[in-house]
């Protein structure tokens, strides 16, 4: 990955994070984390990897993000001083779901001992 793409990924991660924080409300019990951004070599599109806790809310949060993606993209276009701005896409990762499974196993182990 080139240095330029890595910098663009980091800027997109920060800006999309701010936009979501300002514009979206998933409820007080939902935590959304942008884990990484993976932009194509020609910078035409970027996959934004997100994790949602609790994982049972993942699909509803992803649905909200995809419903509002046009507005998020427009805000990102205004904030970034580059053309073209990569077209964003949200991708749900299973990181939180895996962590929850491990936590349950550990809790079961503690109750057995």
Q: Give the start-to-end residue ranges of the domains of the chain.
A: 3-112
- Banded pLDDT at 47 (limits 50, 70, 90): very high
Residue-wise pLDDT tens digits, 73-93:
999 999 998 888 999 999 998
- DSSP bridge pairs for 105: none
Residue holding tokens 């109750």?
A: 111
> What global pTM score does this model have?
0.80
> Yes or no: is domain 3-112 CATH 3.30.300.20?
yes
Least confident of 3-7, 31-35, 81-85, 107-111: 107-111
Phi-psi region of 49 (alpha: psi -120 to 50; beta: other; left: phi over 0): beta
Joined together, the tokens standing for residue 105 give 């196993």
């Amino acid at each position: 990955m080139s240095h330029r793409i890595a910098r663009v990924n980091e800027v997109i991660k920060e800006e999309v994070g701010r936009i979501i924080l300002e514009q979206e409300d998933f409820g007080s019990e939902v935590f959304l984390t942008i884990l990484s951004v993976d932009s194509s070599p020609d910078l035409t599109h970027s996959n934004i990897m997100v994790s949602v806790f609790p994982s049972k809310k993942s699909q509803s949060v992803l649905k909200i993000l995809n419903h509002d993606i046009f507005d998020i993209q427009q805000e990102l276009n205004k904030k970034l001083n580059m053309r073209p701005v990569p077209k964003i896409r949200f991708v749900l990762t299973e990181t939180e779901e895996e962590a929850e499974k491990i936590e349950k196993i550990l809790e079961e182990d503690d109750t057995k001992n």
